[in-house]
Amino acid sequence: MDCDVIIVGGGPAGLAFARSLRDTGLEVLLVERQPRAALAEPGYDGREIALTHGSRAILERMGVWERIPEAAPLQAARVRNGRSAFALDFDPGHDGQPLGWLVSNHLIRQALFEAVQDQPGLRLACGIGLGSARTTRDFAEVTLSTGLSMRGRLLVAADSRMSPVREQLGIAAEINRLGRSMLVCRVSHTKWHEQVATEWFGHGQTIALLPLNNGMTSVVLTLPERAIARLATLPDAALAKELTKRSSGILGPMEMAGSRHVYPLVTTWAKHFGARRAALIGDAAVGMHPVTAHGFNLGLSGQDLLAAEIREALRHGRDIAGEQVIRSYEEGHRAAARPLWLGTNLLVTLYTDERPLARVMRHTGLRLGARLPVFRTGVRNMLMAR
């Protein structure tokens, strides 16, 4: 064996998993196709990740949270539907704790990289892609784009939604191309956002307004792909005007405060999260629709679970890639991910359906949600669970 664990993909999930294996004594190889400099100083990519209390607790345990220079507290969230003035509000609990925190994706990646860069037992092979991957009863093997082959005991795919490793291992996945894209950008505006996030399901569009520090907001606009492609080419002033109009001016006139980024919406669900001597983590396992902000939170808890299973195996002198480890991870992560996957997809279907019945149903759904304290408390507890 050249190492114990081979991780393919140095995005947030892969880096977090490498970090979770610190102090295990395992030799870990992480293969990432981007150059080292892009991991050390990742560029701003427009994503503002809403982190739950559970995610914060994991990042604190890893010694990563303290490396994140900026997190904006999310004091409350508001869901609106169409032109209705009614809103479903999720407020903080009695202890006044925020619902969660908004952190820029590039700052999470940077903090994770800082934490692992000198980690004993971890080799970072950056600027190298994957040629092929396979597993046998006795070992996992990857051939890198350099032609070099490496063997380990466990192969972990952290190579995103279209995961080449998943494909090489012959694991099928449900892939949904939604024909819509998200345009994300930071704006400044005249009215104070009160640290409240707004998710607004309008007719023909979805717009999320995420409150950042310094009074700024991240706008996440979802429209059919062509419409987003057109907006993305507008000059700054014209785009800001369009966003002001599309958000009905609730934050006052907007001005662009940074670069714009476009993400085509593709969701994926792997049929298995594990195989012989292999596991899928992060978006390689589940590529969620961003509307409910679960993707990274789920990926973070999944890798934490896999690392815990590995630690347990080590404690009992068992194989770290044995059937028991893979099965426990698969079952645990599937149980956590399935309700979120189904719930998010239902929400997306209901709130992007423009037929009159669907409009009535979502309006009724919001009103019902507001009247059911159990529902609101449930959502709040899910966000704040440790």
Ligand X SMILES: Cc1cc2nc3c(=O)[nH]c(=O)nc-3n(C[C@H](O)[C@H](O)[C@H](O)COP(=O)(O)OP(=O)(O)OC[C@H]3O[C@@H](n4cnc5c(N)ncnc54)[C@H](O)[C@@H]3O)c2cc1C
- Indicate whether 293 belongs to the interface with ligand X (CB under 6 A): yes
Residues 74 and 213: beta-carbon distance below 8 Å: no
Q: How far is the CB of 302 from ligand X (least distance, A)?
A: 9
**Which residues, in sequence order, are bridge partners of residue 180?**
224
Among 4, 27, 141, 159, binds ligand X (CB under 6 A): 159
Candidates 25-33, 66-74, 304-312, 316-324; binding stretch for ligand X (CB under 6 A): 25-33
In the region spanning residues 240 to 269, those forming contacts with ligand X, defined by CB under 6 A, are 263
Q: Quick one: 305 or 313, whose CB is closer to ligand X?
A: 305
Judging by DSSP bridges, how do beta strands 28-32 and 5-8 pair with one another? Answer: parallel
Among 4, 11, 110, 268, binds ligand X (CB under 6 A): 11
- Indicate whether 188 belongs to the interface with ligand X (CB under 6 A): no
- Indicate whether 47 belongs to the interface with ligand X (CB under 6 A): yes
Tokens of 7: 């991780």
- Indicate whether 295 belongs to the interface with ligand X (CB under 6 A): yes
| Rounded distance between C-alpha atoms, residue 254 and residue 106, angstroms | 24
Strand residue runs (E) in 158-273 = 173-189, 196-201, 206-211, 217-224, 254-270
Q: Quick one: 10 or 274, whose CB is closer to ligand X?
A: 10
- Indicate whether 13 belongs to the interface with ligand X (CB under 6 A): yes
Residue 148 three-state SS: coil
| Size of the residue set binding ligand X (CB under 6 A) | 33
| Rounded distance between C-alpha atoms, residue 158 and residue 152, angstroms | 16
- Indicate whether 185 belongs to the interface with ligand X (CB under 6 A): no
In the region spanning residues 123 to 152, those forming contacts with ligand X, defined by CB under 6 A, are 129-130
Q: Which residues contact 89 (CB under 8 A, 6 or more apart)?
A: 76, 77, 78, 79, 370
What are the angstrom distances between the C-alpha of 178 and each of 27, 159, 160, 352, 359? Answer: 40, 21, 17, 11, 20
- Indicate whether 10 belongs to the interface with ligand X (CB under 6 A): yes
Among 182, 207, 221, 310, binds ligand X (CB under 6 A): 182
Among 3, 5, 7, 12, binds ligand X (CB under 6 A): 12
**Which residues, in sequence order, are bridge partners of residue 217?**
187, 211
> Residues for the chain: how many in total?
386
| Rounded distance between C-alpha atoms, residue 338 and residue 357, angstroms | 27
Among 152, 274, 290, 369, binds ligand X (CB under 6 A): 290
Q: Quick one: 26 or 30, whose CB is closer to ligand X?
A: 30
Q: Quick one: 99 or 313, whose CB is closer to ligand X?
A: 99
Residues that bind ligand X (CB under 6 A): 8-14, 31-34, 47, 49-50, 105, 129-130, 158-160, 164, 182, 184, 263, 282-283, 290, 293-297, 299
